[in-house]
Amino acid sequence: MKTKITKDPEARDNYRGDLMKYIILVGDGMGDYPIEQLGSKTPLEVAKTPNLDKLASIGKCGKLVTIPEGAAPESALANMSILGYDVSNFQGRGVLEAAAMGINIDERDVAFRCNTICVENGIIKNHSGGHISSKESHELIKTIATKLGNEEIKFFPGVSYRHILILKHKYSPDLICTPPHDVPGTPFKNVLVRAKNNAAEKTAELLNNLIIESKTILDNHPVNLKRVEAGKDAANMIWPWASGRKPVIKTFQERFGIKGAVISAVDLIRGLGIYAGFDVLDVEGATGLYDTNYEGKADACLTALETYDLLYVHVEAPDEASHQGDWKQKVKCIEDFDKRLVKRILDNLKDDIKLAVLTDHYNPISVRTHTREPVPFLIYDRNEEPDDIKNFTEDSFDGGSFGLLTGEEFIEIFLNGR
């Protein structure tokens, strides 16, 4: 028997019927444009995805607007939209990643994602310092915190190149900060922090000074000297971006009476889960890169269904391949997502499980950054008649029976039906 999800948590708590279970599988950045080397097809069109295609054929399909008009095509907004949150007032992903790392911030603090990036001859080479290891980058951030930090400027080491900067109390989030993965090949001085208003000028000046001073410190750091000697990219500059204050949002328990959990190696998604009231489930070997433990994520999801109503399972790998401009790797990541994650879950679906599969945004190989097109999604429910879609691709879902939805419409339909 299906449970009717209600926005009244007291009514939901009083319900004693059998519970429907829900899984949302997100392949980050899978959407793309036709690529000449692939015969003018997209990676989704050429990848071998029999399990995604099967779900498309037995489910109902559509397109989802994950990036509202006028908003930047950021992963934070896209994933918040999938979960049906209003993103119009959301400022930046730094606060979400801080939550995932257990960093306590108050309403007056400003949080930033702080990458360790590679700069050569004044040009941003990559956003990740050559995908530097966590052990190496922790040494870099420790040094930066000692030399540039104080009671108002605090650095926190994260995973690989992904770190956090917190400015305490008197600083402004009203800044234009360029995501470094958007501008490889660009002189860093052309994309330094800018203030949106006079009140933010001092904050922008402070951040730009930190960026420039970090280059002098990190160029000669023993970690980077060893990396260069080994033929690797140096992580020789910090890059703060995604500024924002602590958001106030309702949890899924408050909104729908649902107990949820998130499975992801990416702090952004884990932090969003925390603000949504989800538990965060760790999976050994989950990396956020091409070598992530797909099977472990699938198994953790299936096991967690005994405890949770909804599982949000996120895979970052296709997005990373796009940021690198590597279409071969992107095709492989999509095939791994299909064979090693989707199939494992599909083979173990029970009658009381409802499944959604989608990407959060496009990340075309040709531009190596996120774009704002509506994304393909499918919902499989054994009690619903399928539509006529047979393949999981960008264009095929244009004819799906759901048509074009917003995030709030998607989550309502997924939980309540249509």
Per-residue pLDDT reduced to its tens digit, 5-26: 344 444 344 332 346 899 999 9
Residue 17: its pLDDT value, please? Answer: 34
CB 95 within 8 A of CB 246: yes
Q: How many CB atoms neighbour CB 403 within 10 A?
A: 11
Q: How many CB atoms neighbour CB 264 within 10 A?
A: 27
**pLDDT score of 70 more than 90:** no
Most confident of the following: 7-11, 14-18, 157-161, 200-204: 200-204
Rounded percentage of the chain residues whose pLDDT exceeds 70: 95
How far is residue 210's CA from residue 207's CA, in Å, rounded to a whole number?
Answer: 5
**pLDDT score of 336 more than 70:** yes
Question: How confident is the model over 338-395, as pLDDT tens digits?
Answer: 999 999 999 998 888 999 999 999 999 999 989 999 999 999 998 899 999 999 999 9
| Type of residue found at 128 | S
Residue 15: its pLDDT value, please? Answer: 30
Mean pLDDT across 162-175: 93
* Residue extent(s) of CATH 3.40.720.10 domains in the chain: 9-87+250-416
Q: Which three-class secondary structure string do you get for the chain?
A: CCCCCCCCHHHHHCCCCCCCEEEEEEECCCECCCEHHHCCECHHHHCCCHHHHHHHHHCEEEEEECCCCCCCCCHHHHHHHHCCCCCCCCCCCHHHHHHHCCCCCCCCCEEEEEEEEEEECCEEEECCCCCCCHHHHHHHHHHHHHHHCCCCEEEEEEECCEEEEEECCCCCCCEECCCHHHCCCCEHHHHCCEECCHHHHHHHHHHHHHHHHHHHHHHCCHHHHHHHHCCCCCCCEEEEEEEECCCCCCCHHHHHCCCEEEECCCHHHHHHHHHCCCEECCCCCCCCCCCCCHHHHHHHHHHHCCCCCEEEEEECHHHHHHHCCCHHHHHHHHHHHHHHHHHHHHCCCCCCEEEEEECCCECCCCCCCCECCCEEEEEECCCCCCCCCCCCCCCHHHHCCCCEEEHHHHHHHHHHCC
In Å, how far are 7, 130, 324 from 329, measured between CA atoms? 42, 16, 9
**pLDDT score of 4 more than 70:** no
CB 141 within 8 A of CB 194: no
How far is residue 172's CA from residue 406's CA, in Å, rounded to a whole number?
Answer: 31
How far is residue 62's CA from residue 380's CA, in Å, rounded to a whole number?
Answer: 12
Backbone angles phi, psi at 303, to 5 degrees: -65, -40
Residue 19: its pLDDT value, please? Answer: 65
Residue 346: its pLDDT value, please? Answer: 96
At the topology level, CATH places domain 9-87+250-416 in Alkaline Phosphatase, subunit A (3.40.720)
Residue 69: its pLDDT value, please? Answer: 87
Residue 185 — very low, low, confident or very high, per pLDDT cuts 50/70/90? very high
CB 160 within 8 A of CB 131: yes
